[in-house]
Structure 1
């Protein structure tokens, strides 16, 4: 007697009641990623509710400077006198010397010598956290918009971004487009303690042709302060348009990290483009997405026999 298929049986595993170990493992990872995302969003809201105002930018000899997972010694870039009294605004003997407090811009200016990406034009921001006497430097995504091989500065890792993360982003981008008819933005980070990637969704304002991250920089800094991670990719959608970078994208995406654009969400298989920005060459470099993301079709059912295929 032939067993009747029901609407839920869409593969050979469900047909014969065989557990699909790979699918179960992927499902478990997806659930863990979603749980982590919910916890991060909760932390973000709690941090935003607790802060009354942005802490005044202040540096001293004990201030710790964090650039994601890297700890930078402030004393290597400023003298004790500069950190104590301020920076002199005149060096002429006949003029009275006055001092100005070390500013965020001055810090980024000096760090830029060793960290070229730390430029205000790229979205780099130095956020002072008084309760920790620390500065957290973040790379905040700039406004983006649509239109009709690693380089110096990129995070070094042999791992590829799991396809599950890309799938989550595409699902969310489709959901946002169905609700609002707009673009959508997210960031992908690499956790250095676990060597795993995770998707983060910052506060943003979206339109049919633009997306802009509006999250307060202190909220972002607090959320990632105790987590050793680095921004690996900024990814946004062009919804049903092709994933071709617009002039606004070209002007905004100028850091040595990866940038992804997903487009044609109305098609069964959306399109994806990936690139980075080479600071030395001052130009964008495109990549085959398979070099950055795991292959979506890297596994299949073990029940198929390819020995019947003969090369002639």
Structure 2
């Protein structure tokens, strides 16, 4: 039985097997279909340049520029970053480690899209972009940190090639690249592809953190659930950590819609773009509340001191048969976290 060359399929595109073998030794590009335009990724042994990632950068830039013209809430922007933009990056991150310049460019585009950066932008968020990468339990918005997620995906290939069972992918690399030796006893070589070099870079990071191949292997096994590698667990190990906040459970619940969740988180950290904070940034605007036109606009004024806010709080306290009323955000959340 022979292979029907005319019916061979690579990435959803019909091609001959002979052409595939010829391109594999030169500059074959794998295609990801499912879109009107394929996503190309070079798989040759030469080191990739920044220009090879132009398709990825252009797709993310086109998406963020199109969305920037729409009036989206912070929750809507986070949702788009975690779905559409993350889906574009996820395919590339699963193949090899992205260059630092590419990561910097993507992060800059995402930061500009989320904060709608402009000198006179009234909706500007006073929040560090690095803290947005933290999960909700640590005061962030749950956006995946790109470098850590990239390493987490590559670590799955390191775990797979170290397994005793012989899958097609691991068996070929062990025979061709590793010469039937353990990956922990092999050093990186020039003949390796960019994807295979990335596995060795992640391996060196694990060895530097754990101190020995045995400890590194144990760490990889700890990231498994029911004999399957869990990328999320690996990502939690690679990502930067922040202290857990005590008020997280008071606002992050299933019944709370994302928009209210993010606004509450920003309000507690006093990161909303209120007039008192905008004037400190040098904006020349009237320093009074736009609703009552009497007092200065601040977080505590909008949520507690404003006349309508006082009525809402009083109705809530009477409805729950509670006495007293908080007059600051800090005291309000402290009472909510303590069940008061």
Same fold (TM over 0.5): no
More strand by share: 1
Which has more radius of gyration?
A: 2
Q: TM-score normalized by structure 1?
A: 0.25
The structure with the greater share of residues assigned to helix is: 2
| Greater relative contact order, per chain length (Cα 8 Å cut-off, separation 6+) | 1
Report the TM-score, using the length of structure 2 for normalisation.
Answer: 0.24
